[in-house]
Amino acid sequence: MLNVPPVVTALLVAFGVIHAVRAFVLSPQADFEFLLLFSFIPARYDAVWLGQDVPGGVGGLVWTFVTYALIHANVLHLGVNAVWFLAFGSAVARRFGAARFLLFFAVTAAAGAAAHLVTHVGEAVSVVGASAAISGCMAAAMRFAFQRGGPLGPWRTHEAHAYHVPAASLRVALTDGRVVAFLLVWFGLNLLLGVGVLPLAGEDQEVAWQAHIGGFLAGLILFRWFDPVEREPEL
C-alpha cells in the first residue's frame, strides 16, 4: 500500500478532488445537477425511449457508464473503496501498466452499470462509486495472485516478478481451492449486502450489489484480453 502505482494514485486523487468539490464548493442545487449529468441513473434510458430530454443528452447515455465510478456518496464510502482499491487495484496496475489499467477500470465500471441497469430498469435513483471496477480488479488479481511465485503464491522470490507470473486460465483458476474459497466468500458477502444483513450504506442508501457482480464477472472473464503476460501452455 505504500508503493502505489502512479495510475492508482491519480485515480484516488480524482476520487478525493471530486468529492471535495461536491462537499465544499457546489451548492446543493449545483450538486444535484452534477449528479444528473455524471451519475448512473437507469431511468435516463426510459426517458430517452419515451422521447424526453435528459441531462447530458446522448453523450450522457454513454459517459455515465464510467463517470459514476469517480463519484462517491460520502466520506465513508470513499474511504472504504480507497482501501480496497489500494490493495487490488495496485496489484492489477503493476501487471497491466497505466493505459491498460485505465481501460480495464472503464470496462469493468461499465459492466457493473450494465448489470445494475438490467436489474433496475426505470429506477430514478443515482448510482455512484468505484465498487464495480474494484470488484473487477479483485477478479483480475485472483487470476494471477495465487500462482507459483505470484503475490500470494509460495516460493515468491522477486517483488517485481511476482506481478508478472503467467496467469492461470479461467478453467484452471476455477478448479483452484483457494480461488473457489475466495469466490464463495466474495459472492456470499454480496448476497448478505443484497438482503440487508450487512447494511454498509446509510439509512437512505442501498448498496448496488448487482453492479459489484457485473464488474467482478467482467474482470474475471475479460482478464485475458488485457493481460500483457503470455500464459504458459496447460499440461
181-197 pLDDT, tens digit per residue, is 988 988 888 777 666 55
Rg (CA), the chain: 18
232 found inside a domain: no
Distance CA 134, CA 141 (A): 10
Q: How many domains does the chain have?
A: 1
147 found inside a domain: yes
134 found inside a domain: yes
Give the predicted TM-score (pTM) of the model. Answer: 0.89
233 found inside a domain: no
163 found inside a domain: yes
108 found inside a domain: yes
112 found inside a domain: yes
Query: How do residues 32-72 score in pLDDT, each as one tens digit?
Result: 999 999 999 999 988 777 777 888 888 999 999 999 999 99
Range of the domain at 148: 6-226
Over residues 224-228, the mean pLDDT reads: 95
Give φ, ψ of 148 to 5 degrees: -60, 125
Percent of the chain with pLDDT over 70: 88
Burial label for 202, CB within 10 Å (0-12, 13-18, 19+), is exposed
Q: What is the 3-state composition of the chain as percent helix, strand, coil, each rounded to the nearest 5?
A: 65, 0, 35
Percent of the chain with pLDDT over 90: 60
84 found inside a domain: yes
